[in-house]
């Protein structure tokens, strides 16, 4: 129909005819943008210290990564996908339907979600209920029944102990895994304590808990956590929500708020007392081990003490390591390529 597309088609056809089938000699990794800064460190070291090429890592998000990962076996599908949440049963089913039967799960550590403000202001002492009341679109009516659009404009209206400052929170957009985790760990926990919300039907309850306010008090600052840190520096009244590694790297500019009495730092996330943290995983296609060179060695490097251990290089980058016995289990499971069992 269209002469140009015909021409393009012909030239493409000739191109594919002359190119041989591609075998891949390097590992292909996709997945979560939260795990990306950690996985890239391992990949880089792996490339430098072994004879294998440096694995290629794409940042596609957890869901997008699992979709690619589960699309089948063979060299044009990725070997490994990173995830900042556990694989869902539906995703595992999709994997199985496409012939990916040996999915090996590796839990590598934790990432904290920091709720922080500029060092020029005092750290806030918040509870998850406070955060829910400050950020939800609809909140329980303070002087009556049911839900009303969020009326709070200053922190002191929510709790008299909090400062007079106006509510202004910079956080990730809905496409971000950090946002999902924040909703799950803070908003849903925070809203559970209100009777007006407990009384709702399941769907309405989920929506009430997970919908952030849209009147400009919660600002979606994009996926770039550096930008949030810069804005916090400029505005000491604002609060920001971002990954712990950014808090760690900018500890001279921002500090963590106390959530339920605990500030985010290395130790509180590691021992589980800081409530807003999530596990980081990666999933390996067992069937590719032996076909694509280097996967077993990459697994060994990633699960070594030098990497995910207490003093490993990933801890230096801000990842919170697992307890020692859990690390040993992870390393053993990775070596044996056990398929993941969801319970």
Q: Which residues bind other proteins (CB under 8 A)?
A: 1-4, 7-8, 11-12, 15-16, 19, 21-22, 24, 26, 28, 30, 33, 36-37, 40-41, 43-44, 47-51, 53-54, 56-59, 76, 223-226, 243, 245-246, 248-252, 311, 313, 316-318
Give the bridge partners for 262, in sequence order: 259
Chain position carrying tokens 């390393």? 331
The enclosing H or E element of 245 equals: helix 244-249
CB 118 within 8 A of CB 254: yes
Nearer to other proteins, 129 or 225 (CB): 225
Nearer to other proteins, 11 or 341 (CB): 11
Distances (CA, A) of 20 to 24, 59, 72, 73, 136: 12, 28, 21, 19, 55
- Min dist CB 84 to other proteins, Å, is 15
- Min dist CB 314 to other proteins, Å, is 10
Nearer to other proteins, 40 or 156 (CB): 40
Chain position carrying tokens 């070291």? 45
* Angle, helix 295-302 to helix 36-49, in steps of 10 degrees: 120
- Min dist CB 54 to other proteins, Å, is 4
Give me 93's structure tokens: 């089913």
Distance between CA 39 and CA 44 in Å, rounded? 9
- Min dist CB 196 to other proteins, Å, is 39
**What's the CA dihedral at 144, 149, 151, 157 to 10 degrees?**
70
- Min dist CB 285 to other proteins, Å, is 15
- Min dist CB 2 to other proteins, Å, is 6
CB 116 within 8 A of CB 257: yes
- Min dist CB 31 to other proteins, Å, is 11
Nearer to other proteins, 132 or 246 (CB): 246
Distances (CA, A) of 158 to 105, 132, 150, 261: 42, 10, 11, 17
- Min dist CB 262 to other proteins, Å, is 22
Give the bridge partners for 103, in sequence order: 285
Nearer to other proteins, 51 or 143 (CB): 51
How far, rounded to the nearest angstrom, does the alpha carbon of residue 198 sit from its chain's CA centroid?
Answer: 28
Give me 83's structure tokens: 């995830």
Nearer to other proteins, 80 or 134 (CB): 80
Give me 330's structure tokens: 């992870």
Nearer to other proteins, 166 or 291 (CB): 291
* 3-class secondary-structure state, position 304: coil
Nearer to other proteins, 109 or 318 (CB): 318
């Amino acid at each position: 129909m269209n002469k140009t597309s015909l021409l393009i088609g012909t030239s493409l056809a000739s191109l594919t005819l002359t190119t041989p089938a591609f075998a891949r000699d390097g590992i292909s990794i996709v997945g979560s943008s939260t795990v990306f800064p950690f996985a890239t460190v391992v990949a880089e070291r792996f490339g430098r210290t072994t004879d294998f090429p440096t694995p290629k890592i794409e940042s596609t998000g957890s869901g997008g990564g699992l979709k690619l990962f589960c699309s089948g076996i063979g060299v044009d599908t990725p070997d490994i996908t990173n995830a900042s949440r556990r694989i869902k049963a539906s995703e595992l089913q999709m994997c199985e339907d496409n012939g990916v039967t040996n999915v090996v799960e590796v839990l590598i550590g934790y990432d904290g979600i920091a709720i922080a403000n500029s060092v020029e202001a005092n750290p806030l002492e918040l509870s998850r209920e406070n955060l829910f009341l400050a950020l939800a679109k609809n909140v329980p009516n303070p002087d009556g029944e049911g839900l009303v659009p969020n009326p709070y404009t200053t922190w002191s209206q929510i709790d008299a102990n909090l400062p007079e400052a106006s509510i202004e929170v910079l956080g990730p957009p809905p496409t971000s895994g950090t946002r999902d985790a924040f909703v799950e760990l803070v908003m849903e926990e925070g809203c559970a304590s209100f009777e007006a919300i407990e009384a709702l039907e399941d769907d309405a309850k989920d929506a009430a808990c997970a919908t952030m306010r849209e009147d400009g008090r919660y600002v979606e600052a994009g996926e770039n956590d550096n930008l949030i840190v810069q804005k916090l520096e400029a505005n000491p009244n604002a609060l920001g929500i971002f990954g712990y590694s950014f808090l760690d790297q900018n500890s001279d500019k921002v500090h963590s708020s106390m959530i339920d009495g605990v500030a985010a730092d290395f130790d509180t996330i590691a021992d589980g007392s800081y409530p807003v943290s999530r596990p980081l995983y990666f999933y390996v296609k067992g069937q590719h081990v032996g076909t694509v060179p280097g996967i077993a060695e990459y697994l060994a490097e990633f699960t070594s003490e030098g990497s995910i251990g207490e003093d490993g290089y990933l801890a230096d980058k801000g990842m919170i390591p697992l307890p020692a016995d859990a690390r040993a289990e992870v390393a053993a499971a990775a070596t044996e390529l056990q398929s993941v069992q969801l319970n």
